[in-house]
Amino acid sequence: MREVVIIGVGCTNFGEMWDRSFRDIFVEAGLSALEDASIHGEEIDALYVGNMSAGKFIDQEHIGSLIADYAGLASLHVPSVRVEAACASGGLALSQGVLAVASGYHDIVVAAGVEKMTDVGTGVAIDALASAADREWEVLMGATFPGLYAMIARLHMHKYGTTREQLAMVAVKNHLNATMNPKAQYRKEISLGEVMNSTLIADPLRLFDCSPITDGAAAVVLAPAEIARKHTDAPVYVKASAHATDTISLHDRRDITTLDATVHAAKKAYEMASIEPKDVDLAEVHDCFTIAEICAIEDLGFVPKGKGGPATEEGMTALDGKIPVNPSGGLKACGHPVGATGIKQAVEIVLQLRGEAGKRQVGGAEVGLTHNVGGTGGTAVVHILSINR
Amino acid sequence: MREVVIIGVGCTNFGEMWDRSFRDIFVEAGLSALEDASIHGEEIDALYVGNMSAGKFIDQEHIGSLIADYAGLASLHVPSVRVEAACASGGLALSQGVLAVASGYHDIVVAAGVEKMTDVGTGVAIDALASAADREWEVLMGATFPGLYAMIARLHMHKYGTTREQLAMVAVKNHLNATMNPKAQYRKEISLGEVMNSTLIADPLRLFDCSPITDGAAAVVLAPAEIARKHTDAPVYVKASAHATDTISLHDRRDITTLDATVHAAKKAYEMASIEPKDVDLAEVHDCFTIAEICAIEDLGFVPKGKGGPATEEGMTALDGKIPVNPSGGLKACGHPVGATGIKQAVEIVLQLRGEAGKRQVGGAEVGLTHNVGGTGGTAVVHILSINR
C-alpha cells in the first residue's frame, strides 16, 4: 500500500444558506481544496463524495454524476463515486478515497462531503435523518434520534454516574471553540445554565445538547506521498483509515453505552498507525449529541469507560486540555451537514496540524484523529492524520 | 494489482414481491451467493452494496449498516459500503468491490445490489427514478425518463434511419430470452405487433419499449485468484472494471445519440483486458428502453455508430447471433430493480461462462461483458469477465 497524503483542504461556511444550492456549495468547497493543493481539475483521477440523503433533502440522486458535472469534470469522464453511511457518509468517502490512492488505482483523488438540509421543512428533515435509524424497529415505534441518544444518556448516567451538568459542559466547550472558528454555524458562547434550562427535547437531552440542521460542504485532495511533494510543503499523512459496522438498531447491542463500531474502528486505526490513544494530540469526534462526545472519548480510549463525564468536567478535552476535542466546535456548534461532517473533521485536523487554525490553534499538535458515526453507531469511521511520515 | 475472481453468484427472482421486504430479498441473494461460493459469513472481509434510492422507496438510508446487520455480520463489525449511481449503482458496487480486492485491501468481498421499488405507489416510484436525471434542469421542466430517452430515439431515427420496428425488435428479442430465464419478471413472448400497438408513453417509445418497476437483489462473491482456487473449480476472472461519468443532463452533451460515458468506460475496459469488441462472446447491456440497447451495442463497439438498428433486425444480437445481447432478458424483460441490475448482469454472465444458463445458454462463451448505465448516461460502468486467466 502506498502512503497517502492530504495535499489540500477546503470548506464552506456552515449554517443555513438560503441563497445557495447543493451544487453551489459543493463547487465552492471543491475549488477551495484544489486551490489549497495548487492543482487543476484536469489532474483529478477520481472523485468520492459522501452524501446521506440528497434524495430526501433536494429530490436528487445520481450524486456522483451531478458532482462531476458541476465540478467541470464530466467532459473528462472522471469516475465519481457517491457513498452513503448516514451521518458517517463523509468519513466513508474519505476512507474509500484513501483506499483508491493507497492501492495505486488512482493518484489524485478528491474526497468530499456535502449536504443541503434546509431546503425542506424541519419535519421532512427530521424524517430524513430518522432514515439513518432502523425504520421498521425503531422509527415506526416512535423513536427519534434525540430519543435514541437520550436512552444512551440515561443508561450512561445510571451505570457511571455521569451528571446532567457534565453533558452540558460538552456543549459549553464546543460553543466556546466555535467562537474562534469563522466557518462555524453558532459562533457564540453559551453558559451551563443556558444549556440546563433550554427546551427539553428527549429527557435528559435538551435543545443545546443537540447538533443543528446545517448546510455545508467540505473537500480534501489526496495524493500518494511521492506526488504530494510537488504540491505541498506541509504534507499531512493519513496514517490510518478504519471503518466498522454494528447493528443498525440500539436494542440489538450488547451495551448501548458503548459504540462497538467505534471501539473496533479505533482499535484497527491504532494498529495501522502503530500508536496508542495517548499519542493522539487532538481529535474531532462525532458529538451529534453531548452524550455522544462522552461515549466517543471513552470508546476511542482517551479515558477509561465511564470516565468521559468527569474528564470533560476537569477540562481534559478543552482547547488547552490534555487532549483537545472538537476544536472546530464539533457537530454541536460548528454545525452538522450530515454528509459533509466527516470531511470537515479532516479539514479541521489538517488546519490544526499545519498550524493554520487561527485563534483555536492547538499548540504543537502532530497527530490528530477524526471519528465519524452513522446513526447511533451502525457505522463508525476513524482516521489518524499526522505531520510525521 | 491482484487478479480478481468471481467465486459465487446469487440472485432472487425479479418481479413484484408484495410479501417480501428489502431486507428479505437482500439476505436471500447474499446467502445464495455464499452457498454458491462455499464460504461462510465469517470469511467475509467487506461488503459493497449498490442501491439507488432506498430513501425514497422504503424510507431507509444507512444501507451499509442495515445490510451488514441483516446479513448477520454486524456482530463481526464487517465494513459495509453503500454506493449510489442511480441505475448504475450495482455496477458501481461491483467496481468498488473489485478495487478493494485487486488492491490487496480485502480478500473476500461481497458485491451486491438491491432495490425494493413496489412498496410505494407508481407516482412516487417514477419521481424517485426521475431523481437520476437533473432535477433542476430536466425534471422540473417536465421531462421524465421515457421522455428523455424518446428524444434520444427521435434523433437516432433522424440521423441514422433507425426504424420504429427495429426498436420493437429489441423488446421482442429480450422477451423471448426471458421466457428461458426462470428468474425473469416477464416470462412471456411478445410479438412485433404487440410492441408497435402498445400504449404510447413518450413518442416514439411505447409501453413495451420500457423496462418495468421491479423488486430484486443480486450478489457476487469476489476473491483474489490465489484464494479463489480453494473455493471454486469454475473461476470467472474480472479482466476489466471501468467507470466513467458524463454530464447528468442531456442538453449538455455533444451528441445525445452517443453515451460518451459508455464509450470511455468501454475503451478503458478493452485496454485493461487487452481485447477488442470483436473478442466479446456475449453481453448484458443496459436496455432501460429499447433505444438504449441500440445505442449501447454501438457505443460498446459491437457495431459501427448508427448500425444498431439494422444489426438488431438482422439477428446479430439474438441468442444464436454473432454476439448475443441480454440473454437474461435484460432490464426490459428480466426486470430492472435499479440498484440490483448491475450485479444481476454479472450474475448472468458468470452463469453463461460456467455453462449453467439452462435453456438460454450461449454455446462456447468464454468472454462476457456487462454494461450498466446511470440516468441517461451520466454514469457508465463496464466489466469484462472471462473464464481465461
The string of DSSP codes covering B74-112 is: GGGT--EEEEEBTBTHHHHHHHHHHHHHHTTS-SSEEEE
| Closest residue on chain B to A21 (Cα) | B136
pLDDT digits (tens, 9 = 90+) for B246-255: 999 999 999 9
Choose among A59, A92, A103: nearest Cβ to B103: A103
Report the DSSP beta bridge partners of residue A373.
Answer: A380
Report yes or no: A143 and A131 within 8 Å, Cβ to Cβ. Answer: no
Contacts 24+ apart (CB under 8 A), A268-272: A268/A240, A268/A242, A268/A244, A268/A382, A269/A240, A269/A241, A269/A242, A269/A369, A269/A382, A269/A383, A269/A384, A270/A240, A270/A301, A270/A384, A271/A240, A272/A239, A272/A240, A272/A241, A272/A242, A272/A384
CB within 8 Å: A378 and B74: yes
**DSSP-based three-state secondary structure for B377:** coil
Decide if A62 and B56 are in contact by the 8 Å CB cutoff. no
Contact A131, B55 (CB under 8 A): yes
For residue A1, pLDDT beyond 90: no
> Structural domains in chain B?
4-121+214-236 (3.40.47.10), 132-208+239-386 (3.40.47.10)
A213-228 residue pLDDT tens: 999 999 999 999 999 9
Residue of A nearest to B48 (CA): A83
Percent of chain B with pLDDT over 70: 100
Is the pLDDT at B97 greater than 90, yes or no? yes
Confidence (pTM):
0.98
Does pLDDT of A134 surpass 90?
Answer: yes
- Chain B CB contacts of A262 under 8 Å are none
CA–CA distance, B356 with B362 (Å, rounded to integer): 10
Do B376 and B122 touch, CB atoms closer than 8 A? no
What cell was used for A388? 510525521
- CB pair distance less than 8 Å for B104 and A103: yes
Which among B60, B65, B102 has CB closest to A245?
Answer: B65
pLDDT single digits (tens) B31-77: 999 999 999 999 999 999 999 999 999 999 999 999 999 999 999 99
Given a cut of 90, whether residue B359 has pLDDT beyond it is: yes
CA distance B93 to chain A (A): 10
Q: Which DSSP string do the residues of B113-132 spell out, in sequence order?
A: EEE--TTS-HHHHHHHHHTT
Q: Is A87 a catalytic residue?
A: yes
Residue B148 clears pLDDT 90, i.e. is over it: yes
